[in-house]
Amino acid sequence: MTSIDARQLGPFRLERMVGQGGMGEVWLGVHEDGFPVAVKILSEKANSNELFRRAFNQEAEAMAQLSHVGIISIYDRGIVTREIGPMFEPGRLFLAMEVANGGAASDLLRPLPWAVLRRLMVDLLDALRHAHARGIVHRDLKPDNILFAHSPVGLIPKIADFGISHAWDKQAPTALEGDSDAEREAVVGSPSYMAPEQVRGLWRDYGPWTDLYSLGCIAYELATGKRPFVGKDKHEIAHARLRRKPAPANLSAGYPPSFSELLDLLLATDIHERIRFARDALKWFEDHSPDTTEIRIEDWLDLGDRERTAYVTQFTVSEDVKRTGLLPDRNQAKTNRALPERSGLRLFELRETPIVGRRDHQKRLSDALFDVIRSRKPRGIVLHGPAGSGKSRLTEWLALRAHEEGLALRLRASHMYIAGRSHGVSRMFAGFFRCIGLPPDRTLHRLYRELGALGLSGQDARALTQIIHDAETPEPPIFRFSSDDERLAIMVRILQGMAGRRAVLLTLDNIDREPQSIRLARYLLETFESLPLLLVATARTSNDARGHSPWQDSDDMEALTQHDRCDLIEVPNLDPSQHQSLLQTLLPVASEVAEVIVERTGGNPLFAIQLVRDLLRRGELEWSAGRLKPIHSELELPKTSQSLWLDRIELGLNAFPVAKRGLQWLGLELAAALGEQVNQSEWSALCAMSGVQVASGLLDELISLAVAARQDEGWRFSHGSIVETLRRRAEENGRWADHHRQCAQMIQTMYSPSPASWFRRGQHLLFGESYDEAFELFVQTARRWLETGRAAEAEDAIQRARQALECIHPGDADRRLPMLDALETRALVGLSSLLPCAELGQRMLEWSERNHDDLYTAEGHVAVGLGVLHENLSRSLVHFNTAVEIFRRLDAATSLSRALTIVSACVYRKGDVEGALAAASEAAEICQRALRQLDQEANRFLLEIRLADALALVSAARLQKGEVDTAAMICRQTIDIYRRLGNVTKLGRELNTLGDIERYRGNNEGARAIYTEAIETLDVARCIDSQITHLNIVLLDLLDCRFESALPILDKAIAGLRLSGRDFFTGVGLVLRLAVSSGLGDFTQWDETITETRRILIDRKHSERDAIWAATMAAEHADRAGYPERARQAFLLAADLAELQAENERALALRARADGTQHQAE
């Protein structure tokens, strides 16, 4: 037997063993500085099993992230060596933890009085909200894992045993038995306290509510003396909670009457009916204070002659691990905590990083969140600054505090300079609803349940499923979007559903890298007045002298940051005093060390933190007089963050034979080519394709050095600067372009053809200097996305194609130049941004004139016509008609049908119904002929949409001509096409036309029902056209003289139409406003309204039949109210509108009535 003096494990002297099992031993010990510890050492057998080693390390990583008085602290971890632990086999893992020897909750007498139970629950809930905010769910909360420790105020509870904890925001099961698309895992936990989702093994349903269920079981038992569920064996106990509710709690005197209701909420079988945040339950207990303050937990402990020590029962949990397999690895967070001096340096990089010198930033973020909660209005904040200045750390700080206080739900989207599988808002929604790894059908099934709990529809579930699986292009699509605005509307609809219960905190990291996310941010702020959502985005500024970055030249970013509800906040590097304070907060380093680090890092927090870690790792600091001082007279520090990362990686690679290190470098460069977030399957395939064999322990080494961290479906580099470091290394050795070409080949091999895979390949080929191939892929992507209504993504692909083309240095005669202009014109139409089309069109016309190309002459005329459409309809028509003639001469059927449809819509607006009918009919015939001759099914969708668009115009024109039955037949045919193709927006528009038809038939009630259906359909897509349908509802109210009910509907519709730039319909709405106001006898805004109406409609040659009728009604009301001059103005307005519709006799009659009112006025 080894003597006690030999029982040394590094800085810990082990005094006696207090627990032993097949998984290991627990010893009581003392640190060399005198404080007591409990040391847990993995057994030799368990240590040889990789699964148990992972579980053991996971416990250390989980506990190191947590810094709370109600959670057992971990002081250190390590690996036994002969030098530090002569009595143990080398290689065994150990943990050193806080001692809690005051008993456990299982020793409490029961039933407990209310005052004791309340105090215990308050302490435990406070600890749980701390853990849950950091993404950790305990999953084995039970009385044996609630230990008591001595403190100046008596015994306090501490949660122990995080051996099977779950990272609840992760997207993978804890067992190796299931892949990331597996629905179930092996059951883990204690049967008497497990939540129903644990009994079923539904790991995607785990969350804070899982621990709250277990806590509800504990509260029930301590309050009543009985467990809520009983049975003859563990299986029966566990499954009892799936079949029935617990018996009503038989409570003693002193308990609040509503305590039973709280237990019901904690013990709800359905996770959506359960309390979701620990803070919510904590608030209930805080609101129900006992009458007495004399509360001593120790008075209710029954220890007998037993002694309790922390982690005596720890290894019983690991028997469950044996059945479940590999436990999940979590992202390694860093936590700063008050620990005994000289302890835990090996855990330093797992601790939470402190925030120093950002008090003003934290206050502004907090104030913004509280403002959103109070006002229920959306707000935005864009944090900008150099890399490593702490922008993302601030957003994480806000997210932690918001969760701890139960203030907001948090969604986060990350954006990388190369879009990968973990990129963007679609991945964000997939992550929040725990759908990552599921195929489309199972995603849809899950979203039916999750969105249904938010009060959203099956239609919403189908739309979100399509957004999540866009990259896979499921055929047929689960949901078809007609525009980017419709996609944005669905996303916001989901956010609205979430915000109905609690405010939403939406964080978008590196928003400047993704145009679609910028548009979502703008859409949120510009479209919604009532939505309790705080958007916090980050954007990186350059580290050059100007501090300028390309995003600052982006029109969309400028529009976002200049919105009156969005604040642009700079996050600069720290000044020297703040930098010194950060270092002292991290660790008590000597002043001479701090000064050198401050000078070297230039105020960059990330660089400073990494330098401290490197010094600790290299053993260059030692304790002296309570401070960490340099061992040598001069510290050797890397000159730049790039050299620091290179040194760090080199240190990790030293674990492998010299002959293999070169291949490991290549493997990491290939990972960097994939981007900051690395999909494991892609990386493995890429390395195999490149002939690189990555060592099995490489990733573990990188994680231990804080170079990488595990995440869903793979891992990520800890910071973007590491990717930049590897990029520079590969470029210096002439490998970077080759790496990207290999990436493109890997994507082509792994994934079926789709716009998402084409775009990713194009990105890599652009970096790989294969410009022609990249150009073709970007163009192919843009065309497909335009066909499916994704104009924003198409515009992004077009701009990437322009980058590739610039690198090719095309000649003046290169047809790819006008081709991109024509494509961009289509994208801008999809984005409702017509003004820039004029410049594109003029460029095409000039190119065509030089190169004698009729096709792009016609395309140029279309673009110019679109660009001046809102300013001068007549000029636009000249350009459109010119394009029609050229397309007809060239026999370019597809382009001709598109141009004819545009012409039809324009002449219809001018009142030329015959011209509109002729153009639309010809367009429809072209599409029908093309469909009959179609030999490629892939083009059918686009042709059918174009046919339906043309038929919609034919129907509207027939209706204007009074051919109601024919119009109705064509309208229903069009509705059937849109409904079959799943185009929600256009379906809603055509339902609106069908409502018009019923109104013209005199069936007002039938029209109202159809209009209501149209509004509901359009509201699904948040389409502004629903406001047009509201105008038709107002027309029905005018027919029934229901002016008071019409007014609020009308004002809201006009406001929405103004905001969206729909001038024509805004003008029609203003005519209706004249009729409604005069019907109410309110002429206070008459003069301004009629002046604006003339400017929008008459000056621009716009007219509409319903507007003629409404203007006439306004005139008659004004005349009866004794305002002959205003009546004359309205009659003249109606006459001018009639003339624009070529109703000359009607116009003459209206002018005669205007003259009559003038004579009356005289």
The DSSP symbol for 707 reads: S
Q: Are 748 and 402 contacting, i.e. CB atoms less than 8 angstroms apart?
A: no
Q: What angle do CA 270, 274, 278 make, to 5 degrees?
A: 145
Q: C-alpha dihedral over 735, 738, 739, 744, to 10 degrees?
A: 170
φ, ψ of residue 1074 to 5 degrees: the values are -60, -45
- H or E, element range at 630: strand 627-630
Q: Are 1018 and 985 contacting, i.e. CB atoms less than 8 angstroms apart?
A: yes
Please tell me the distance from the alpha carbon of residue 65 to that of residue 169, in angstroms, as a whole number: 15
φ, ψ of residue 27 to 5 degrees: the values are -120, 145
Q: Hey, what long-range contacts does 749-757 have (CB within 8 A, 24 or more apart)?
A: 749/685, 749/689, 750/681, 750/682, 750/685, 752/472, 754/471, 754/472, 754/473, 755/473, 755/780, 755/781, 755/784, 755/785, 755/788, 755/790, 755/793, 755/797, 756/470, 756/471, 756/472, 756/473, 757/471
The DSSP symbol for 589 reads: B
Instruction: State whether residue 76 is helix, strand or coil.
Output: strand
The DSSP-derived string for 419-463 is --TT-HHHHHHHHHTT-TT--HHHHHHHHHHHHHTTT--HHHHHH
User: Which pair of structure tokens corresponds to residue 848?
Assistant: 């065509």
User: Which pair of structure tokens corresponds to residue 486?
Assistant: 């419709």
Residue with tokens 């070297």: 600
Q: Are strands 93-97 and 36-42 parallel, antiparallel or unpaired?
A: antiparallel
Q: Where are the alpha helices (DSSP H) in 244-358?
A: 259-266, 278-286, 314-324
Label residue 416 left, alpha or beta by phi (over 0 means left) and psi (-120 to 50 means alpha).
beta
Please tell me the distance from the alpha carbon of residue 970 to that of residue 919, in angstroms, as a whole number: 16
The DSSP symbol for 1097 reads: I
Please tell me the distance from the alpha carbon of residue 96 to that of residue 42, in angstroms, as a whole number: 12
- H or E, element range at 690: none
Q: Give Cα separations from 388 to 104, 358, 417, 423 (angstroms).
A: 44, 14, 16, 20
Residue from 140, 470, 949, 996 carrying the catalytic annotation: 140
512 is catalytic: no
Q: Is the bond preceding residue 638 a cis peptide, omega within 30 degrees?
A: no
Amino acid at residue number 923: A
Please tell me the distance from the alpha carbon of residue 525 to that of residue 528, in angstroms, as a whole number: 6
Please tell me the distance from the alpha carbon of residue 886 to that of residue 892, in angstroms, as a whole number: 9
Please tell me the distance from the alpha carbon of residue 207 to that of residue 226, in angstroms, as a whole number: 26
Q: Are 670 and 691 contacting, i.e. CB atoms less than 8 angstroms apart?
A: no
Q: Are strands 136-137 and 166-167 parallel, antiparallel or unpaired?
A: antiparallel
Please tell me the distance from the alpha carbon of residue 586 to that of residue 648, in angstroms, as a whole number: 20
- In sequence order, the 6+-apart residues with CB closer than 8 A to the CB of 444 are 461, 462, 465, 478
Short-list 1029, 1026, 1098, CA closest to 1063: 1098
Please tell me the distance from the alpha carbon of residue 131 to that of residue 278, in angstroms, as a whole number: 10
Please tell me the distance from the alpha carbon of residue 280 to that of residue 406, in angstroms, as a whole number: 7
The DSSP symbol for 705 reads: T
Catalytic residue list: 140
